Chains A and B, each alone.
Chain A
Amino acid sequence: MMQEAHPIEEFTRKGMIPHIWCNGCGNGIILSEFLRALRELNYDMNKIVIVSGIGCIGRISGYINADAFHTTHGRPIAFAVGVKATRPDLKVVVISGDGDLFSIGGNHFIHAARRNIDMTVICSNNFNYGMTGGQSGPTSPLEAYTTTTPYGNIEHPFNLVHLAAGSGAVYVARWTTIHIRLLRESIKKALKKRGFTFIEVLSPCPEQYGRRNRMPKPMDSMLWFKERSVIRHHINPLEAEITPNEIVVGEFVDTEKPEFTDLLQQQVQSIQMKLEKEGKLTNVPL
């Protein structure tokens, strides 16, 4: 029996590992790489808030040894906006799934990106709703089989990179769970960058998605990622697509834009200074 602890375990909550995710689920890799990124950045773990929504990946907030909150379905970003706006000194990270962030939660995503509020959103994209048994979602590929598309999916999926870029995110990247180190570097970059940063991580779901789409074994999905991924940094987000023949990964947006809490703070300060100068309690008539 091994006496030694796994090197990244100290960043997890005591007694919570091993996690509940299935054999071959990519969420465990996302958890590990995220924790490694935190370790390398040497963040004060008392000043980080992890927010997650409903779905398999939503359980991640229970495994990380930091302040964490598990919201209702689709709402982690809205919750996180409330946190960051009132405590801009805290680092806020939202980790959730493709359905939670882009189906029910789609509205909150685009508005938080539009505001460019300083937070990092990591999407575990496994192409279906795994937790509830494998229904289709907004990222299910055309023709994919899921429990609610038993004859093949006839809906076009989102291009999340394009959606994030179009909504105003200042950093957008896509990786898969096989791009372990590139993913980790990307997470570090996203965490350090000021503004709304987004990383899409394609993740295997052998039990639900894989099994119904000719990838029943965990390695099947990983081989799909390995063989079909192609890195094309900074191409037009519209062209950064996931098609049957290739998965375009890389970094696609890396810009600067005034950040929401900075603008808020500036405005509040100038209003208060004006009141100080005028010696008034308020400039607002009742």
Chain B
Amino acid sequence: MRRDIITGVYFALGDVACAEGAIAAGCRFFGGYPITPATEVAEHMAKRLPEVGGVYLQMEDEIASMAAVIGASYSGVKSMTSTSGPGFSLMQENIGLAVMTETPCVIVNVMRGGPSTGQPTKTGQQDVMQAKWGSHGDYEIIAFAPSSVQEMFDLTIQAFNISEEFRCPAFIMADEVVGHLRERLKIPKPEDIHLTERKKPKELPQSYAPFRPDRDLIPPMACFGEGYRFYATGLTHDETGHPQTDSAEEQTKLVQRLCEKIRRNRDRIVRVERITLDDAKVCVIAYGSVARSALAAVNRARRQGLKVGLLRLITLWPFAEKEIEEIADEVDGIIVAEMNCGQIVREVERRADHRKITFLPKLGEDPHTPEEILAQIRRVAR
């Protein structure tokens, strides 16, 4: 009797949906530390993982959590952690290690008000740049922004799949509203859930090089105890995994490949949702819980005869540059609504005429109300 996919319809908490999505995706290791508003992910994993033969480890801090996640992933087990702003900051160094050692893993950040301890129980979207630039060094990652409890489930499965395929950390950048919302959750039948597994080496141990890429720039991944006796390090390394700390050529080769393996696939990775954009003259760009209000605002505006559309970002990184460029030429005004002092709007400004862009920030307790966004739409549409 398989216990990992509990097909059915539920009225579930966002954090819990995320945990169930992870288990459905095959996650069998969670290493984390409690932090509002992500604690429910950990607590649900603590209850469910033993039922599916997995391991829940409450580590001593978030640094240890991320290290344990990498260890478990290298042991052949799909692994994840969940946290919020302060913990996310602590994890950054080891996120860099995961990037450098090409470790498949999922990190959930249920964002809250920052900086520092901030407002633990209130929502925010202040960490979205940090997901891309938080660790030192140059690298690419993949990040999703769920807007509903259903997406907390679905996108977590996507995150696992994509991290296994590209051998990189994948992020679920949720926010406290989506994490603590209760909504309808449909868990499909097992045959309707598609899972991706990491590429395994075909060659024998004698000829295996742990970081020799295939033509898709992704190396097959051997794990501990499989007889490959490989070596992996966070130091700049060559294909055999051994340190190459003096060679400019090796540094260039490695760092560029780590970026390129994701960049060259951005068309496949980037996901957006377009709502009534075909004839729109004003476009609202939003993600996460703000996108819910934006959707309501856009629908109301349409009923009032305004030609408005919504571009909802489902992936935050790699950024939807092409998609923004397409819209930018067709509309007269772009409204970027986010719960920070200006993060995704900067990416939009790189791709669209800044004279068309208005930024609608909000900080504090709740996301923008539909009225707030509608008011801005009316101002821009005039």
Contact = CB atoms under 8 A, between A and B. Distances in A.
A and B directly contacting (CB within 8 A): yes
Interface of A: 13, 16, 45-47, 49, 51, 59, 61-62, 65-72, 75, 78-83, 85-87, 89-90, 107-108, 111, 264, 267-268, 271-272, 275-276, 279, 281-284, 286
A272 B243 CA distance: 44
Interface string B254-291: 00000000000000000000000000000000000000
Contacts of B224: 49, 67, 83, 87, 90
Q: Which of B74, B94, B185 has the most CB of A within 10 A?
A: B74
24 contacts: A46-B225, A59-B243, A61-B231, A65-B229, A68-B232, A69-B231, A69-B233, A70-B231, A70-B233, A71-B67, A78-B63, A78-B64, A78-B67, A82-B67, A82-B69, A82-B71, A83-B72, A83-B74, A85-B29, A85-B57, A86-B28, A276-B1, A281-B1, A282-B3
B375 interface: no
A284 B47 contact: yes
Contacts, number: 154
Interface stretch (B48-56, B305-313, B365-373): B48-56
A82 B234 contact: no
A281 B48 CA distance: 10
Given A75-B67, A272-B51, A87 B225 contact: yes
Interface of B: 1, 3, 6, 10-12, 16, 20, 28-29, 31, 44, 47-48, 50-51, 53, 55, 57, 59-61, 63-65, 67-77, 79, 93-94, 96-97, 101, 185, 224-235, 242-243
B59 A81 contact: yes
Nearest to A111: B60
A68 B3 contact: no
A62 B231 contact: yes
B229 A66 contact: yes
B68 A79 contact: yes
Nearest to A20: B243
A72 B97 contact: yes
B75 A82 contact: yes
Contacts of A59: 243
B120 to A, nearest CB: 22
B29 A71 contact: no
A179 B235 CA distance: 33
Given A79-B68, A107-B60, A46 B55 contact: no
A39 to B, nearest CB: 16
B68 A81 contact: yes
B153 to A, nearest CB: 10
Contacts of B64: 75, 78, 81, 107-108, 111
B254 to A, nearest CB: 15
Contacts of B234: 70-72
Given A46-B229, A69-B101, A86-B77, 14 more contacts: A13-B231, A70-B231, A71-B97, A72-B93, A75-B94, A79-B68, A82-B72, A86-B28, A86-B75, A107-B61, A272-B50, A275-B3, A282-B48, A284-B48
Contacts of A264: 55
A107 B90 CA distance: 14
B71 to A, nearest CB: 3
A82 B31 contact: yes
A268 B59 contact: no
B50 A267 contact: yes
B75 A90 contact: yes
A112 to B, nearest CB: 9
A270 to B, nearest CB: 9
B298 to A, nearest CB: 31
A72 B77 CA distance: 21
B60 A108 contact: yes
B77 A281 contact: no
Contacts of A267: 50
Contact of B242 (A62, A66, A80, A85): A62
Contacts of A281: 1, 3, 6
Contacts of B11: 286
A86 B72 contact: yes
A266 B63 CA distance: 28
A82 B63 CA distance: 12
Contacts of A67: 224-225, 228-230
A61 B241 CA distance: 11
A82 B68 contact: yes
B247 to A, nearest CB: 15
Contacts of B70: 71, 79, 82
Contacts of B226: 46
